Amino acid sequence: MPLLLHLLELRTRLIKAVLAILILFVSLIAFANDIYLTLVKPLMLQLPENSEMVATGLIDPFFTPFKLVLILSFFLAIPVILHQLWSFVAPGLYKGERKMGGLILLSSIVLFYSGMLFCYFVVFPLMFQFFPSVVPEGIRYIPDMTNSLNIMLKLFFAFGLAFEVPIFTMVAIFSGATTVDKLKQSRSYVIVSAFAIGMLLTPPDMISQTLLAIPMWLLFELGLVLATWFKPDATSTSKNTEPSRQPIKSD
């Protein structure tokens, strides 16, 4: 295909991805307040007696749920976005690469959502139980709704990416950038790096840092196991020496 046709196809794929986000946003905006209350429920359940959340900004009661719905629409549209990008790239790949890429794409979506669910059902209850317990005497604990949302979204994204560690590990091994043996020898550095990343991406408390670092390490070990089990067969790879040029039909 000429370069212009590639650019036109890319534009079409991007428009479809943006439309998916807009459709989700329009469908959810009427429930913005309910969605926000559902998100902060783990925090509100741990608030001290006679305490509540507050909105300190003039437009926060409107803008904060609006922002949440917009970002949620993007998160929910991730399968559509990745599918459109994959449909654009896949026709130029070898047959074996397309098969492996499809599996990696599906696995990455599942792992990203798994990280977000782990964050909501495990990390949030423990973290929000910890914060009120360390409030100094004489200080009233009143979380701000916008600040709380920013912290939650940051943690969602951090845990979603952290759960992609097996994918990153397998891709690095399959691409020849490293080997299973080399990564095993670097295990101690990986563990230290996991805690360093946990320190950078989470609030300054040991609970959320540890709950991010330990799953990253365990998922790294899982990536090593999967890379050993599903190591690409050199003979099957050599048979597919020509890229598959069959275009993928637009949805």
Which tens digit of pLDDT belongs to each residue from 188-242? 888 888 888 888 877 777 777 888 888 888 988 888 888 787 665 544 444 444 4
Lowest mean pLDDT among 35-44, 145-154, 163-172: 163-172
In a domain, 165, yes or no: no
Q: What is the pLDDT of residue 25?
A: 96
Q: ∠ at Cα 148 (71, 64), nearest 5°?
A: 45
CA distance 24 to 30: 11
pLDDT band at 148, cuts 50/70/90?
very high
Q: What is the pLDDT of residue 17?
A: 93
In a domain, 172, yes or no: no
- Crossing angle between the packed helical segments 206-229 and 187-201, to the nearest 10 degrees: 140
Lowest mean pLDDT among 53-67, 90-104, 127-141: 90-104
In a domain, 209, yes or no: no
CA distance 107 to 170: 11
Task: Write down the pTM of the prediction.
Answer: 0.78
Q: Kindly list the distances between the CA atom of residue 184 and the CA atoms of 145, 187, 220, in Å, as whole numbers in the listed order.
A: 43, 5, 10
Q: What is the pLDDT of residue 116?
A: 93
Lowest mean pLDDT among 36-50, 81-95, 222-236: 222-236
Q: Mean of the per-residue pLDDT values for the chain? A: 83
In a domain, 3, yes or no: yes
- Once rounded to an integer, what is the mean pLDDT over residues 171-179? 80
In a domain, 94, yes or no: yes
In a domain, 206, yes or no: no
CA-based end-to-end distance of the chain: 19
Residue 69 clears pLDDT 80, i.e. is over it: yes
- Once rounded to an integer, what is the mean pLDDT over residues 95-121? 87
In a domain, 134, yes or no: no
Residue-range definition of the domain harbouring residue 96:
1-110
CA distance 195 to 189: 10
In a domain, 124, yes or no: no
Q: Report whether 201 contacts 160 (CB < 8 A).
A: no
What's the number of domains the chain is made of?
1
